Amino acid sequence: MSRKIPRAALAALLTLAAGAPLTACSDDGARLGYQADYADHPPLRVTGYPSTGSLETVQQVVWQLADGDVDGLAALDTEGGDARSAARDWVEAYGKAAHGEVTADFLDEGSVRQDVVLHFAGPRRTQDLTVRIGDDDSWGAVLDAPDPEPASR
């Protein structure tokens, strides 16, 4: 006994079957991109107790600085508006230093917001940074004006 599948049902099944691999690839693609960035940059030294989101965001900030990626850094901003100017200032101030050893001191508890002090070993400079969950429920950074002075701590 042979059953015929209605055309509408067959079209729906084909659409689902074609879309399933794309959905799976998008999560894997993001993960692979993160793993590639992780492998392409010096390790970030960490003190304190970061959450998964705050750690990943700080790593991305340092990686964007090292790569000189103004647009990528601006995309991490949680404050809305055009963050390209602030991101450009950060890249100019810390881009070269981000190629070397960087330590991130995670302060406080980091479930939705965390203050971080970045220590750049080469020029011996520090920069305060706040990472938090933004309006779109993803982690990002508050790109305040970078501190132009070398560390005195």
- Give, to the nearest 10 degrees, the angle between helix 7-40 and helix 52-67: 70
Q: Where does 81-133 have alpha helices with state H?
A: 84-94
Contact yes or no for 85/143 (Cβ under 8 A): no
Given pLDDT bands bounded at 50, 70 and 90, which one contains residue 81? confident
pLDDT greater than 50 at residue 11:
no
Given this model, what pLDDT does residue 143 score?
A: 94
pTM over 0.75: yes
Q: What is the pLDDT of residues 20-45, one digit of tens each?
A: 343 344 467 767 778 888 888 989 99
**Between 86 and 34, the higher pLDDT residue:** 86
Q: What is the mean pLDDT of residues 143-153?
A: 67
The radius of gyration computed from the CA coordinates of the chain, to the nearest angstrom, equals: 21
